[in-house]
C-alpha cells in the first residue's frame, strides 16, 4: 500500500534535490571529497592513538590531511583495482613519514614511533577508503551510487566516532587508577602502563581496601542491592499481574499512574524524605535506605513486568483455572515459571539501579561505616586524596555492573526495551 506513495514522493524529490547535489554525482568530485574527509578522520584517530600510546606529541595538519586525502580519493576512483590500493597505501606511508605528510610529529619522537604512525595511517586510510569508493564509477554516478558512497563513509565515520567517545572515558578511568599523581601531572597524554612495577601497579586499589574501607562499602552496596531486588519483586509481581490480567475498575487509570509515578523526580521527594528521616532517626541507617530504594524501583519493575505478563497467552492460565487451581496458584505455578526470563532481566535492571544510586545515599548517609559504594566514592573526591584513588574507586564500582551486563547482555537489552525507559 505504501509502495505507490513512496515512489511518487521519491520521484518528486529526485527532481528537486538533484539540482543541489548534481555536481557531486561525479566520481572525480565525490571520490576526492570523501577521501579528504576520511583521511582527516583517520589522521585524527591515528594521532590521538599514537599520542596516548607513546606519550609523544603527534598532531594533525588539517590542510595537508585534506590535500593528500583528496589525492588518494581521486586515485582510488580512477583505478579501483587492488593494485592501485596497494600503491596508494605505500605512497601514503612514504609521505606520512616525510615532513610534508598529514601528521606532525614532535622532534623527540623516535624513528620507530614515526614509522609505526605512518604505516598505521596508511592502513587506516586506504583500506576503508578503498571499500567506500570501489563501487563508485569514475565518471557520472547515479544518485543511488553517490548516496551509497556517502553512507559507506558515514558508517565508517560512525564506528570510529562512537567507539572513541565510549572507549576513551573508560580507558582514562582505568589508566588514571594505575598511575600516581606525579606521573599524571608530568604527562597527561601518556596512557601507557608501566608493567615493570608488577603488583605495585594496583597499589591504589589495595589502599582503598586497606585504608578506606572499600571492602565494607562493596558489601553494603551488594546486600542493599540484593534486598532491593527481592523487595521490588515481592511487591511488583502481584501488582503487575493484577494490572495485566485481572479486570477491575480503575485499571486504565492505574497503569497510567504507574508511568506518572516513575516520572516523579527524586530530588522533589528527597527533601521531605530527608526531613522525615531526620526526625525519626532513620537518616544514617541502612534500614532507611532499604526502605526507600525499592519504592524508586517498584514502578519501573511493575511497568516492565505487566508488559511481559500481557504478552503471555492467557489460555494456559485459563486451563489452569478450569482444572481447579486458584488464581494465586495459577500465578505461582504457571505465570511465574513462564516469565523467568522477564524476572531475570527485571532483577538485573533493578540491581543496576540500586547499585548505581547516588543521590539518596549521598543525602541520607553521613557515617562512613554505613556508606554504600557510590557514597564512598563521593567521599574520595577531595583535594587531599590523590586522583588515582578516586578513579580506582570508580573502576571498582563499574566493573561488577559491566561484568553483569556483558554476561547477560541479551537479557538486559530485552528487559530495557520490554517497556521501560528509566532516566
Partner 1 sequence: MTTSEPPSGTGPLQRREARLAWGLLFPTVAVVSAVVLLPLLAIFWISFKPIGLADLRPPAPVVREALRGSGEEMRVQYRIRNSSQDEALSAVTLGDTLPDSVTVLRADERCTVEGGRLDCDIGTLEGGGRDEIEIFVTLSGDADTVEEAIEASLPAITGSGDNILTNLDFTWNNFTRIFSGDEFWSVLGVTVFYTVFGTVGALVTGLFAAMLLNKEFRGQGILRGLYLFPYVAPVIAVAFAWVILFDPFSGSANALLIQMGVTDEAINFFGSRPLALIMVTVFEVWRYFPLSFLFILARMQSIDTDMYEAADMDGASPFQKFWYLSLPQLLGILSVLFLLRFIWTFNKFDDIFLLTGGNAGTRTLTVNVYEQAFAVSDIGAGAAVAVVIFCCLVLFSFLFFRYVSQEEGL
Q: Find the binding residues for partner 1 in span 205-234 (CB under 8 A).
A: none
To the nearest whole angstrom, how small is the minimum distance from the Cβ of residue 122 to partner 1? 20
Query: Does 403 engage in binding with partner 1 (CB under 8 A)?
Result: no
Query: Does 390 engage in binding with partner 1 (CB under 8 A)?
Result: yes
One residue of 29, 91, 269, 338 binding partner 1 per CB under 8 A: 269
Q: What letter would DSSP give residue 265?
A: -
Q: Nearest to residue 408, comparing CAs of 343, 359, 357, 364?
A: 343
- Kindly tell me which of 41 and 374 has the beta carbon lying closer to partner 1: 374
Which of the stretches 8-16, 82-90, 114-122, 197-205 binds partner 1 when contact is defined by CB under 8 A? Answer: 8-16
Count residues binding partner 1 (CB under 8 A).
111
CA distance 208 to 9: 63
Spatial neighbors of 72 by CB under 8 A, at least 6 apart, are: 35, 39, 88, 92, 125, 126, 129
Which of the stretches 115-123, 205-213, 248-256, 334-342 binds partner 1 when contact is defined by CB under 8 A? Answer: 248-256
240-256: string of b/e by CB count within 10 Å (b at 16+)? bbbbbbeeeeeeeeebe
Query: Where do we find the cell 605512497?
Result: 91
Instruction: For the chain, give the number of residues.
Output: 423
Q: Where is 59: in which H helix or E strand? A: strand 58-60
Spatial neighbors of 299 by CB under 8 A, at least 6 apart, are: 258, 259, 261, 262
- Kindly tell me which of 265 and 313 has the beta carbon lying closer to partner 1: 265
For residue 389, count other CB atoms closer than 10 A to its CB. 23
To the nearest whole angstrom, how small is the minimum distance from the Cβ of residue 258 to partner 1? 9
Query: Does 314 engage in binding with partner 1 (CB under 8 A)?
Result: no
Q: Which of residues 159-178 bind partner 1 (CB under 8 A)?
A: 159, 162-163, 165-170, 172-173, 176
Which of the stretches 75-83, 84-92, 130-138, 387-395 binds partner 1 when contact is defined by CB under 8 A? Answer: 387-395
Question: Which string of x and - marks every residue 271-290 that binds partner 1 (by CB under 8 A)?
Answer: xxx-xx-xx-----------
The gap from C-alpha 242 to its chain's centroid, in whole angstroms, comes to 35
Query: Does 379 engage in binding with partner 1 (CB under 8 A)?
Result: no
Give how far Cα 173 sits from Cα of 167, 170, 327, 398, Å: 10, 5, 51, 10
One residue of 27, 32, 35, 51 binding partner 1 per CB under 8 A: 51
Query: Does 421 engage in binding with partner 1 (CB under 8 A)?
Result: yes
Query: Does 416 engage in binding with partner 1 (CB under 8 A)?
Result: yes
CA distance 266 to 296: 8
And the C-alpha cell for 211?
Answer: 585504608
Which of the stretches 26-34, 72-80, 145-153, 201-209 binds partner 1 when contact is defined by CB under 8 A? Answer: 145-153
Query: Does 109 engage in binding with partner 1 (CB under 8 A)?
Result: no
**Cα(first)–Cα(last) distance of the chain, in Å?**
38
- Kindly tell me which of 111 and 268 has the beta carbon lying closer to partner 1: 268
Which of the stretches 111-119, 206-214, 335-343, 396-404 binds partner 1 when contact is defined by CB under 8 A? Answer: 396-404
Amino acid at each position: 500500500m505504501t509502495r505507490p506513495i513512496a515512489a511518487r514522493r521519491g520521484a518528486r524529490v529526485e527532481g528537486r534535490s538533484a539540482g543541489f547535489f548534481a555536481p557531486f554525482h561525479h566520481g572525480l568530485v565525490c571520490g576526492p571529497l570523501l577521501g579528504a574527509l576520511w583521511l582527516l578522520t583517520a589522521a585524527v584517530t591515528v594521532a590521538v592513538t599514537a599520542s596516548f600510546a607513546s606519550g609523544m606529541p603527534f598532531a594533525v595538519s588539517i590542510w595537508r590531511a585534506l590535500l593528500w586525502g583528496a589525492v588518494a580519493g581521486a586515485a582510488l576512483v580512477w583505478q579501483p583495482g587492488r593494485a592501485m590500493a596497494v600503491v596508494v597505501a605505500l605512497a601514503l606511508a612514504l609521505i606520512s613519514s616525510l615532513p610534508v605528510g598529514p601528521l606532525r610529529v614532535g622532534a623527540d619522537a623516535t624513528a620507530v614511533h614515526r614509522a609505526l604512525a605512518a604505516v598505521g595511517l596508511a592502513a587506516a586510510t586506504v583500506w576503508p577508503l578503498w571499500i567506500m569508493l570501489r563501487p563508485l564509477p569514475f565518471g557520472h554516478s547515479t544518485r543511488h551510487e553517490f548516496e551509497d558512497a556517502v553512507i559507506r563513509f558515514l558508517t565508517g565515520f560512525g564506528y570510529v566516532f562512537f567507539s572513541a567517545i565510549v572507549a576513551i572515558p573508560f580507558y582514562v578511568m582505568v589508566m588514571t587508577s594505575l598511575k600516581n599523581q606525579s606521573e599524571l601531572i608530568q604527562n597527561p597524554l601518556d596512557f601507557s602502563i608501566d608493567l615493570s612495577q608488577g603488583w605495585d601497579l594496583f597499589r591504589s586499589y589495595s589502599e582503598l581496601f586497606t585504608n578506606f574501607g572499600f571492602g565494607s562499602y562493596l558489601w553494603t552496596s551488594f546486600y542493599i542491592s540484593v534486598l532491593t531486588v527481592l523487595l521490588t519483586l515481592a511487591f511488583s509481581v502481584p501488582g503487575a499481574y493484577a494490572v495485566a490480567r485481572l479486570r477491575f475498575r480503575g485499571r486504565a487509570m492505574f497503569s497510567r499512574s504507574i508511568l506518572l509515578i516513575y516520572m516523579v523526580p527524586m530530588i522533589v521527594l528527597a527533601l521531605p524524605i530527608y526531613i522525615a528521616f531526620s526526625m525519626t532517626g532513620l537518616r544514617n541507617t541502612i534500614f532507611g535506605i532499604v526502605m526507600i530504594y525499592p519504592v524508586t524501583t517498584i514502578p519501573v519493575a511493575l511497568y516492565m513486568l505487566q508488559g511481559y505478563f500481557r504478552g503471555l497467552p492467557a489460555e494456559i492460565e485459563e486451563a489452569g483455572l478450569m482444572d481447579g487451581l486458584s488464581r494465586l496458584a495459577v500465578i505461582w505455578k504457571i505465570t511465574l515459571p513462564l516469565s523467568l526470563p522477564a524476572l531475570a532481566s527485571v532483577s538485573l535492571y533493578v540491581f543496576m539501579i540500586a547499585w548505581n544510586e547516588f543521590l539518596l545515599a549521598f543525602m541520607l548517609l553521613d557515617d562512613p561505616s554505613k556508606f554504600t559504594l557510590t557514597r564512598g566514592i563521593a567521599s574520595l573526591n577531595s583535594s587531599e586524596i590523590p586522583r588515582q584513588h578516586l578513579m580506582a574507586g570508580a573502576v571498582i564500582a563499574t566493573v561488577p555492573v559491566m561484568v553483569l551486563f556483558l554476561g547477560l547482555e541479551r537479557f538486559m537489552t530485552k528487559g530495557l526495551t520490554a517497556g521501560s525507559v528509566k532516566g
